Amino acid sequence: MVDKIKVFSGSGNRQLAQALCDYLSIPLGEVEISRFSNDNLFVQVKENVRERDVFIVQPLCCPVSDNLVELLLILDSLRHASARRITAVIPYFSYARSDKKDMPRISIAGRLVADLLQTAGANRVLTMSLHSDQVMGFFRIPIDQLNPIRTFCDYFEGLGVEQTVVLATDAGSARRAGAYATRLKLPLAFIDKRRVSDDEVEARAVVGDVAGKRVIIFDDEICRGTSLIEAVKATRPLNVKEVRAAATHGVFTEDATERLQALDALEEVVVTDTVPLPESKRVSKIRLLSVASLFGEAIKRIHTGESVSGLFE
């Protein structure tokens, strides 16, 4: 059934691409990516894709601009090679954070990147845990958004969730955290958080009963870790028994992993492999869960015309 599927990968996360190919029992397609002396990228697909259902795995993680241009060039190459359908598999769509014009004279980059993907040749997009759901409306082509709820909930259920409360890092993320609370059959609390500057936030209070309980903090991504650290600090006066955290995208910019590792009140941080985690950032408190089988199953369903949303029913 999957003999007409071809999966290729850019430089962004070849480990995830290989893992989902292993799940599908197909080889990872060969694509050559190099640079000319003037720093222009060169892309050549090394396999026949005529009338094939093709998927390109490329998260928009660091270096974001290089990974984006790589993806656009691969899409364009496949379009000119007469692929039947081209799906951009973007596990981490970082430009989803630029979803509105909240300052004068700025670009709504999420919309711009959506247009670029379609122009380059994408017929469909497959992604996971967008920072803002409204970004799906930026696309004029079909887009499927996966979530790691089952992956995370299975993990935490294995640890035991007695006397546990799900905590959202702010009121805006309460809906996302609420989905985990519903699945785990746990109460929900959230942080009253105010942004002090572009790089600083202040957690003013915990809204909900967490005193003496175990706490799991859910978020969509961790970059510098500021929101997570402030949330953990906000629970200290409440004598919580244990604090764990989970986020789909472990971006971990700058010294984020070192700061989280040094936070005594934090037991562990669980993230998925949508973003590659280099050895230099693999500290003992970071636990990595794979979503390769979830993406692999979604790819199989897209190919066969089955429901992708059925994965979460």
Six token digits for residue 247: 């986020």
For residue 63, whether the previous peptide bond is cis, meaning omega lies within 30 degrees of 0, is yes
Q: For 112-131, what is the HEC assignment? A: HHHHHHHHHCCCEEEEECCC
From the list 6, 193, 281, 285, the catalytic residue is: 193
Q: Are strands 41-45 and 31-35 parallel, antiparallel or unpaired?
A: antiparallel
Give the β-pairing of 188-195 and 201-207. Answer: antiparallel
Q: How many residues does the chain have?
A: 313
Residue 188 and residue 139 in contact, taking contact as beta carbons nearer than 8 Å? no
Share of the chain residues as helix, strand and coil, in percent rounded to the nearest 5:
35, 30, 35
18 within 8 A of 295, measured Cβ to Cβ: no
Q: In the annotation, is 193 catalytic?
A: yes
Q: What are phi and psi of 260, to 5 degrees?
A: -70, -40
Question: What are the φ/ψ torsions at residue 267 (nearest 5 degrees)?
Answer: -75, -50
**Four-residue CA torsion sign, 245, 247, 250, 253:** negative
- Structure token pair of residue 288: 């990595």
User: What does the block give as tokens for 270?
Assistant: 């669980």
Q: How far is CA 66 from CA 34, 39, 180, 249, in A?
A: 12, 11, 34, 19
Q: Which residues, listed in sequence order, are joined to residue 206 by a DSSP beta bridge? A: 191
Residues acting as catalytic residues: 193
